[in-house]
Structure 1
Amino acid sequence: MTLPVELLIGLRYVRAKRRNHFIGFISIVSMLGIAIGVMALIVVLSVMNGFEEELRSRILGMASHATIAGEAGRLDNWQQVADGAREHPRVEAAAPYVSGEAMLRAGSRTSGTLIRGVLPEAEGDVSRITQYLRDARLADLQPGEYGLMLGAELARSMGLLPGDSVDLMVPQASVSPAGLMPRFRRFTVTGVFEVGMYEFDRGLVLLHMDDAQALLRMRGQVSGVRLKLHDLFEAPRVVREVAQGLPGVYRISDWTREHANFFRAIRTEKIVMFIILSLIVGVAAFNIVSTLVMVVQDKQPDIAILRTIGATPRSIMLVFLVQGTLIGVIGTLLGVGGGLALALNIDVVVPFIEAATGQQFLAPDVYYISDLPSKVEGDDVLKIGGLAFTLALVSGLYPAWRASRTMPAEALRHE
Structure 2
Amino acid sequence: MGFVGLLGLRLIRRGAAPAWTRAAARACAGALALTGAAALSGLRAAWVLGPLWLAAFGLGVALLARALRPMLVVSVVGLGLGVASLFVVLGVGSGVEQALVASLTRLNGHATITKYGLDFFEYEAVAQTLEADPRIRAASPYVFGAGALVVLDETGGEGEEGGEGPVVVSIKGMDPRRAAGLSGIEGLFSAGSLASLRPAQPREAPGIVLGARLARRVRAEVGDRVRLVVPEAIGGDVDAAPGPPRHGDFVVLGLLETGFVEFDANFVLVHLSAAQAVVYGEMRASGVEIELAEARSLEGAMSVARALVELLERPRSERGLPPLYRAASWAERSAALNSIRQTKVVLAVILSLIVAVSSGSLIGALLLLVRRKRREIATLAAMGARRSQLFSAFEGIGVLIGGLGSLFGLGLGALGLALIAALDLDLDPGIYMFDRLPVAFDVGDMAIPCALAVLVCALATGPVAWQAAGLRPLDGLRA
- TM-score, normalising length from structure 1? 0.82
Tell me how far 1:373 sits from its aligned partner.
1.7
Unaligned 5+ residue runs, structure 2?
A: 17-64, 153-157, 160-164, 233-242, 317-323
Equivalence for 1:55: 100
What is the root-mean-square deviation of aligned Cα atoms in Å? Answer: 3.2
Unaligned 5+ residue runs, structure 1?
A: 173-179, 352-359
Structure 2 letter corresponding to 1:340: A
Which sits farther off after the overlay, 125-134 or 4-13?
A: 125-134
Equivalence for 1:328: 402
Matches within 5 A, 1:16-415: 16-17=14-15, 24-105=69-150, 106=152, 107-108=158-159, 109-126=165-182, 128-143=184-199, 144=201, 145=204, 146-171=206-231, 184-213=247-276, 221-229=284-292, 230-231=294-295, 232-246=298-312, 249-250=324-325, 252-259=327-334, 261-348=335-422, 350=423, 362-364=427-429, 366-413=431-478
- Deviations along 1:307-362, whole A, 9 cap, x unmatched? 333333333333433433333332222122222232344312x45xxxxxxxx672
Structure 1 letter corresponding to 2:267: L
Tell me how far 1:237 sits from its aligned partner.
3.4
Structure 2 letter corresponding to 1:341: L
Tell me how far 1:37 sits from its aligned partner.
1.1
Tell me how far 1:102 sits from its aligned partner.
4.2
Compared with structure 1, are the counterparts of its residues 409 and 168 closer, same or farther at alpha carbon in structure 2 (3 Å cutoff)?
A: closer
SS at match of 1:95: strand
Count of aligned pairs: 393
Which sits farther off after the overlay, 242-251 or 333-342?
A: 242-251
Structure 2 letter corresponding to 1:206: L
SS at match of 1:186: strand
- Following the alignment from structure 1 to structure 2, what is the Cα–Cα distance between the partners of residues 103 and 377? 41
Greater strand share, structure number? 1
SS at match of 1:311: coil
- Following the alignment from structure 1 to structure 2, what is the Cα–Cα distance between the partners of residues 323 and 237? 45
- Deviations along 1:172-200, whole A, 9 cap, x unmatched? 6xxxxxxx986544322111212233553
- State the identity %: 33
Contact 1:235 1:255 (C-alpha < 8 Å) held by counterparts: no
Tell me how far 1:281 sits from its aligned partner.
1.3
- Following the alignment from structure 2 to structure 1, what is the Cα–Cα distance between the partners of residues 124 and 437? 43
Compared with structure 1, are the counterparts of its residues 399 and 216 closer, same or farther at alpha carbon in structure 2 (3 Å cutoff)?
A: closer
Structure 2 letter corresponding to 1:242: L
- Following the alignment from structure 2 to structure 1, what is the Cα–Cα distance between the partners of residues 286 and 439? 38
Structure 2 letter corresponding to 1:88: D
Compared with structure 1, are the counterparts of its residues 67 and 383 closer, same or farther at alpha carbon in structure 2 (3 Å cutoff)?
A: closer
- Following the alignment from structure 2 to structure 1, what is the Cα–Cα distance between the partners of residues 5 and 145? 72
Tell me how far 1:206 sits from its aligned partner.
2.1
Compared with structure 1, are the counterparts of its residues 199 and 397 closer, same or farther at alpha carbon in structure 2 (3 Å cutoff)?
A: closer
Compared with structure 1, are the counterparts of its residues 191 and 297 closer, same or farther at alpha carbon in structure 2 (3 Å cutoff)?
A: same
Stretches (4+) displaced over 6 A: none
- Following the alignment from structure 2 to structure 1, what is the Cα–Cα distance between the partners of residues 279 and 431? 36
Contact 2:12 2:72 (C-alpha < 8 Å) held by counterparts: no
Equivalence for 1:175: none
Tell me how far 1:226 sits from its aligned partner.
2.1
Which sits farther off after the overlay, 3-12 or 239-248?
A: 239-248
Compared with structure 1, are the counterparts of its residues 127 and 219 closer, same or farther at alpha carbon in structure 2 (3 Å cutoff)?
A: farther
Contact 1:68 1:225 (C-alpha < 8 Å) held by counterparts: yes
Tell me how far 1:66 sits from its aligned partner.
2.9
Tell me how far 1:50 sits from its aligned partner.
0.9
Structure 2 letter corresponding to 1:4: G
Structure 2 letter corresponding to 1:27: L
SS at match of 1:134: strand
Structure 2 letter corresponding to 1:205: V
SS at match of 2:441: coil
Contact 1:63 1:127 (C-alpha < 8 Å) held by counterparts: no
- Following the alignment from structure 2 to structure 1, what is the Cα–Cα distance between the partners of residues 114 and 8? 68
Structure 2 letter corresponding to 1:139: A
Which sits farther off after the overlay, 129-138 or 311-320?
A: 311-320
- Following the alignment from structure 1 to structure 2, what is the Cα–Cα distance between the partners of residues 114 and 264? 19
SS at match of 2:169: strand
Which sits farther off after the overlay, 189-198 or 209-218?
A: 209-218
- Following the alignment from structure 2 to structure 1, what is the Cα–Cα distance between the partners of residues 146 and 393? 73
- TM-score, normalising length from structure 2? 0.72
- Following the alignment from structure 1 to structure 2, what is the Cα–Cα distance between the partners of residues 335 and 68? 44
Tell me how far 1:82 sits from its aligned partner.
0.8
